[in-house]
Amino acid sequence: MGTATGQEPADARPLEKGLKTGAIGFASSVVIGVASTAPGYSLAAVLGLVVAVVGVQAPAIFIVAFIPMLLVAMAYKYLNKADPDAGTSFSWATRAFGPNTGWITGWAIVVADIIVMANLAQIAGLYSFLLFGVDNPSTFAVTLIGVAWIAVMTYICVIGIELNAKTQQWLLTAEIVTLATFAVVALTRVWVGTAPATSVHPDISWFSPFAIGSTSALTSGVLLAVFIYWGWDSLVCVNEETEDAENVPGKAAIIATLILLGIYVIVSTAAIAYAGPALLANDNSGDVLGLLANSVFGSSLLGKIVIIAVLSSAAASTQTTILPTSRTALSMARSKAFPRGLAHIHQQHQTPDTATWWMGGLSIVWYVGLTLVSEDILFDSIAALGLMIAFYYGMTGFACVWYFRRDLTKSARNFWLVGVAPLLGGLMLAAIFVKSCYDLSKADAGSTTYFGLGSPLVIGIGFLLLGPVLMLIWYAMGHREFWKRRREVADPRVLGDDKVGPEPAPV
């Protein structure tokens, strides 16, 4: 539904893609989006850090951090309506800004997903042992189980999107039921007076960003919180396998972000009310929910359900992280921006099997390699993830505005929802990118410094700059058909204006 500003190669947008169309519905799409963020693990890891910065206003921070996610979700909704391609941001940035920007955007998605897989696998491995009462497993044992989790989830992704969706439903159900139970029991004990002496009753000011003491505290808190929403876009990456591919993924993306907002605000409120801000702010475990579980439930046995929540969260996210990586690689391969073999579709399962196995294999190599070399580099790379996330989310917001630029003044809906909202989302994420670069450049931001800069910044920028290098190598090897693509503008009919007459002339 795009109007090219130049001639496209015939293979630029293949119509017969081989994936199993209509395999997942709206509910399964929402499940994939929520599960991909690993809400249980994300909240457990980040809540203490946010409380240390803003105290009881942590729920307000989660509300503010939600705003750029919602705005970018609007961009995903309308871009997907115009071009329901599994490559999502890669395909859309290519159409809006041209092949170079599109390639680098696709690269940011792939590398971010591979990097985070190491962290998710490690959490899944560690919590597998904690579930059975093993508190201090060896690094080798944790790594072995983590690799097994990646292998199993990769296999599930290969053998079918329906099984993938069903697995996600079970994992996410276990996670949400556990988090809901935790929140209800914690808040009930606060109200009836059986919580610890440090407990505090929730107040309406907890949900107001204007109650935060300083702008710097608000900014620092948002920087910590915004990335725990990352991952909902996985549901859009399976758009070609979703029923009503042009509409369902976009609507599901917005619903998924709203569900995440509810989870984060409710559970964070319950945890702060039960334990009090001081205890959470001083926690160094990196697992606030695990710290409180036994106390909230009054039993170590019942406390294990929180371990199940974090384990199912990490396992589900491991699986759904493979989905966008393999589908982005598939889309890039179809457009001849990646090796053609990655576009192979399994005849029986109708999944991108080659790309999926490659992404699973690279994730294992990355995880094992960093574990052997230095766990510090592993942690530094995780800290650097925010740069890649802000880059491709922000680029998607800008792509929406530019791609639909001719339609923005045709209605109030177009102006505000297709133009202003994605633009603001992109600008917010651009600001977060710049602020993150500044914070990660400090000497104490990571395990060491390189060239006087914090190691997370060097790793993050290094990975982003590796993209253009690989792109130039691919081009120099003679793979130039993708670069014949030209920038496009959206077909006005995408936004429902059926009385526009003939398509616009090339720019």
- CATH code, domain with 334: 1.20.1740.10
Judge whether 295 lies within some domain. Answer: yes
Euclidean distance between CA atoms 193 and 443, whole angstroms = 45
Q: Which residue has the tokens 């693509």?
A: 485
User: pLDDT value at position 284?
Assistant: 61
User: pLDDT value at position 300?
Assistant: 74
Judge whether 201 lies within some domain. Answer: yes
Could you write out the DSSP letters of every residue in 334-374?
HTTSS-GGGG---TTT-S-HHHHHHHHHHHHHHHHHHHHH-
The 3-state secondary structure of 406-431, one letter per residue = HHCCCCHHHHHHHHHHHHHHHHHHHH
Judge whether 424 lies within some domain. Answer: yes
Q: How far is CA 394 from CA 79, 184, 383, 427, 438, in A?
A: 14, 36, 18, 7, 18
Query: Following CA atoms 276, 279, 282, 287 in sequence, which dihedral angle do they give, to the nearest 10 degrees?
Result: -100
For CA atoms 498, 500, 501, 504, give the dihedral sign.
negative
User: pLDDT value at position 293?
Assistant: 86
Judge whether 89 lies within some domain. Answer: yes
Phi, psi (5° rounding) for residue 489?
-120, 155
Q: pLDDT for 12-40, tens place per residue?
A: 343 346 788 888 999 999 999 998 898 98
Cα 39 to chain centroid, rounded: 11
Neighbours of 199 (CB within 10 A): 18
Model confidence, pTM: 0.91
Q: Which residue has the tokens 């290098």?
A: 469
Phi, psi (5° rounding) for residue 450?
-130, 125
User: pLDDT value at position 286?
Assistant: 66
User: pLDDT value at position 1?
Assistant: 47
Token pair, residue 192, equals 């009836």
Which residues form the domain of 77?
Answer: 21-483
Could you write out the DSSP letters of every residue in 392-407?
HHHHHHHHHHHHTGGG
- Residue 10: exposure state from Cβ atoms within 10 A (0-12, 13-18, ≥19): exposed
3-class DSSP state for residue 41? Answer: helix
Judge whether 9 lies within some domain. Answer: no
Could you write out the DSSP letters of every residue in 274-318?
HH-HHHHHT--SS-HHHHHHHHHHTSHHHHHHHHHHHHHHHHHHH
Judge whether 27 lies within some domain. Answer: yes
Q: Which residue has the tokens 């859009």?
A: 236
- Within the chain, which residues score under 70 in pLDDT? 1-17, 284-286, 497-507
Judge whether 100 lies within some domain. Answer: yes
Judge whether 1 lies within some domain. Answer: no
Length of the chain: 507
Query: Is the distance from CB of 11 to CB of 499 less than 8 angstroms?
Result: no
For CA atoms 83, 86, 89, 91, give the dihedral sign.
negative
Q: pLDDT for 309-323, tens place per residue?
A: 888 888 888 888 898
For CA atoms 235, 70, 44, 259, give the dihedral sign.
negative
Give the number of domains in the chain.
Answer: 1
- Residue 135: exposure state from Cβ atoms within 10 A (0-12, 13-18, ≥19): exposed
Euclidean distance between CA atoms 501 and 486, whole angstroms = 23
- Residue 275: exposure state from Cβ atoms within 10 A (0-12, 13-18, ≥19): buried
Single out the residue of 75, 36, 7, 114 nearest to residue 467, CA to CA: 114
Q: How far is CA 240 from CA 187, 208, 248, in A?
A: 42, 40, 11
Euclidean distance between CA atoms 253 and 236, whole angstroms = 7
